[in-house]
Structure 1
Amino acid sequence: MTGTERHDDGRLIAGRYRLQRRIGGGAMGIVWLAKDELLDRTVAVKQLLLTPGLSAAEAEQARKRSAREARLAARLQHRHAITVFDVADDDGMPVLVMEYLPSRSLAEVLTAEGPLPPSEVARIGAHAASALAAAHSAGIVHRDVKPGNILLGDDGTAKITDFGISKAADDGTLTGSGRFAGTPAFLSPEAARGEKPDAASDVFSLGATLYAIVEGRFPYGDTENQMALLYAAAAGRVSPPRQAGPLTGVLAKMMHLEPAARPTMAELAAELGTLTDAPKDKRNRKPLYAGLALLVVAAAVVTTVLLTKDSGQNPNAAPPPATATATVTASATGSAPASSTAASTSTQASSSPANAPASMVQAVSDYYAIMPGQPDVGWTKLGPGLQAQGLASYKEWWSKVSSLRVTDGPRQTGADTVQVTIDYTYNGRQYHETHHLGMITRNGQTLINSDNGLGA
Structure 2
Amino acid sequence: MSEPGFTELESLGDGNFGRVVLARQDRTGAVVAVKYLFDWLPLDEFRVEAAAWQHLDSPYAVRLHEFIESSRALVMEAVPGVSLHRLLHDNGALPPEAALAVFKNTLLGLADAHAIELVHRDLKSANVLVTDDGQAKLVDFGTAALAGESGTTAADIYAATCVFFECLTGHPPYEADDPDTLRQLHRYAPIPFGEVPEPLWGLLTWGMAKDPAYRPASAEQFADALETVATTTYGKKWERRGRAILAADPAEPPATGLLLKSGVVVLGLAVIAAGVVFVVTREEEPPPAAPPQMLQQVLTVAVEPVAEREATFAIEGEIVQVHGYQDLLVGARVNQALRHPFDEHREKLRADNQDGTSKPTIVLQTGELLSVRYDNRSGDEQPYPRAVTVALNEGKPLGVRELLTPEALSDNGIDQLSHRLDYHRRCENKTLNADELVLALAPDGVAFALTCQKPETVLLPYARMTDLLAPEVLKLLPDQRSVPPAPTTTTPPPKDEAFRFGALNLRLPTRFSVQNQGLEKVVVDGTGCADPKRYYNCEYFLVTDNTQASDEQPKYEPGKPYRRSANGRACNAAGRKDLKQDGAATLVESATVKVGDQDATYEKWTVRCVRPGSSEAEAELTQRIWFVPSKNVVIEDEWGIAELDEALAKAVWR
Q: Quick one: which of 249, 252, 255 aligns to 2:208?
A: 255
Letter in structure 1 aligned against 2:106: A
Q: Quick one: which of 204, 224, 228 aligns to 2:158?
A: 204
Helix, strand or coil: the match of 2:43? helix
Change (3 A) 1:16 1:361: same
1:351 has 2:332 as partner: yes
Change (3 A) 1:117 1:349: closer
Aligned-partner Cα distance in 2 for 1:350–1:268: 32
The equivalent residue for 1:380 is: 357
Change (3 A) 1:139 1:242: same
1:227 has 2:180 as partner: yes
Does the 8 A contact of 1:29 with 1:49 survive in 2? yes
Aligned-partner Cα distance in 2 for 1:205–1:414: 32
The equivalent residue for 1:170 is: 147
Aligned-partner Cα distance in 2 for 1:96–1:47: 6
Does the 8 A contact of 1:122 with 1:275 survive in 2? no
Structure 2: segments with no counterpart, 5+ residues: 246-254, 257-301, 316-327, 348-353, 363-372, 376-394, 401-441, 456-654
Aligned-partner Cα distance in 1 for 2:160–2:399: 25
Q: CA deviation at 1:413?
A: 7.6
Q: CA-to-partner distance for each residue in 1:354-381, whole Å, 9 max, x for gaps?
A: xx995x5322456899xxxxxx94x611
Helix, strand or coil: the match of 1:247? helix
Helix, strand or coil: the match of 1:381? strand
How is 1:294-305 mapped onto 2 (pairs within 5 angstroms)? none
The equivalent residue for 1:122 is: 100
Does the 8 A contact of 1:119 with 1:275 survive in 2? no
How is 1:66-105 mapped onto 2 (pairs within 5 angstroms)? 66-91=46-71, 94-105=72-83
Name the structure, 1 or 2, with higher relative contact order (CA <8 Å, separation 6+): 1
Does the 8 A contact of 2:190 with 2:303 survive in 1? no
Q: CA deviation at 1:121?
A: 1.0
Q: CA deviation at 1:17?
A: 1.7
Change (3 A) 1:414 1:139: farther
Does the 8 A contact of 1:143 with 1:201 survive in 2? yes
Change (3 A) 1:65 1:275: same
Q: CA deviation at 1:271?
A: 2.5
Letter in structure 1 aligned against 2:52: L
RMSD between superposed Cα atoms in Å: 4.6
Q: CA deviation at 1:113?
A: 0.8
Letter in structure 2 aligned against 1:204: Y
Q: CA-to-partner distance for each residue in 1:270-292, whole Å, 9 max, x for gaps?
A: 2223455544899x99xxxxxxx
The equivalent residue for 2:226 is: 272
Q: CA-to-partner distance for each residue in 1:147-168, whole Å, 9 max, x for gaps?
A: 111000111111011112212x
How is 1:20-35 mapped onto 2 (pairs within 5 angstroms)? 20-35=9-24
Does the 8 A contact of 1:352 with 1:361 survive in 2? no
Change (3 A) 1:38 1:274: farther
The equivalent residue for 1:48 is: 37
Does the 8 A contact of 1:82 with 1:159 survive in 2? yes
Q: How many residues align?
A: 304
Does the 8 A contact of 1:118 with 1:246 survive in 2? no
Helix, strand or coil: the match of 1:202? helix
Does the 8 A contact of 2:66 with 2:75 survive in 1? yes
Helix, strand or coil: the match of 1:382? strand
Aligned-partner Cα distance in 1 for 2:124–2:448: 30
Does the 8 A contact of 1:150 with 1:158 survive in 2? yes
Q: Which has the larger radius of gyration?
A: 2
Q: CA-to-partner distance for each residue in 1:363-406, whole Å, 9 max, x for gaps?
A: 2456899xxxxxx94x6112589999xxxxxxxxxxxxxxxxxx
Change (3 A) 1:147 1:415: farther
1:322 has 2:302 as partner: no
Aligned-partner Cα distance in 2 for 1:130–1:41: 27
Does the 8 A contact of 2:158 with 2:207 survive in 1? yes
Helix, strand or coil: the match of 1:321? strand
Letter in structure 1 aligned against 2:358: K
Change (3 A) 1:110 1:414: farther
Aligned-partner Cα distance in 1 for 2:131–2:166: 20
Structure 1: segments with no counterpart, 5+ residues: 1-7, 52-58, 174-196, 286-318, 337-346, 370-375, 389-410, 417-437, 448-456
Aligned-partner Cα distance in 2 for 1:78–1:137: 11
Aligned-partner Cα distance in 2 for 1:415–1:201: 31
Does the 8 A contact of 1:122 with 1:247 survive in 2? no
Aligned-partner Cα distance in 1 for 2:35–2:374: 40
Aligned-partner Cα distance in 2 for 1:22–1:414: 60
Q: CA deviation at 1:70?
A: 1.1
Change (3 A) 1:412 1:85: farther
Change (3 A) 1:413 1:152: farther
Q: CA deviation at 1:73?
A: 0.7
Change (3 A) 1:150 1:349: closer
Structure with more strand by fraction: 2
Helix, strand or coil: the match of 1:352? helix
Does the 8 A contact of 2:187 with 2:210 survive in 1? no
Helix, strand or coil: the match of 1:73? helix
TM-score between the two structures when normalised by the length of structure 2: 0.40
Letter in structure 1 aligned against 2:167: I
1:214 has 2:191 as partner: no
Q: Quick one: which of 233, 236, 243 aligns to 2:196?
A: 243
Aligned-partner Cα distance in 2 for 1:31–1:254: 32
Letter in structure 1 aligned against 2:14: G
TM-score between the two structures when normalised by the length of structure 1: 0.56
Aligned-partner Cα distance in 1 for 2:399–2:87: 38
Letter in structure 2 aligned against 1:65: E
Q: CA-to-partner distance for each residue in 1:415-439, whole Å, 9 max, x for gaps?
A: 89xxxxxxxxxxxxxxxxxxxxx99
Aligned-partner Cα distance in 1 for 2:169–2:230: 17
Structure with more helix by fraction: 1
Helix, strand or coil: the match of 2:340? helix
Helix, strand or coil: the match of 2:358? coil
Aligned-partner Cα distance in 1 for 2:359–2:7: 58
Aligned-partner Cα distance in 1 for 2:48–2:148: 11
Aligned-partner Cα distance in 1 for 2:27–2:213: 47
Q: CA deviation at 1:208?
A: 1.0
Aligned-partner Cα distance in 2 for 1:87–1:414: 56
Q: CA deviation at 1:320?
A: 6.7
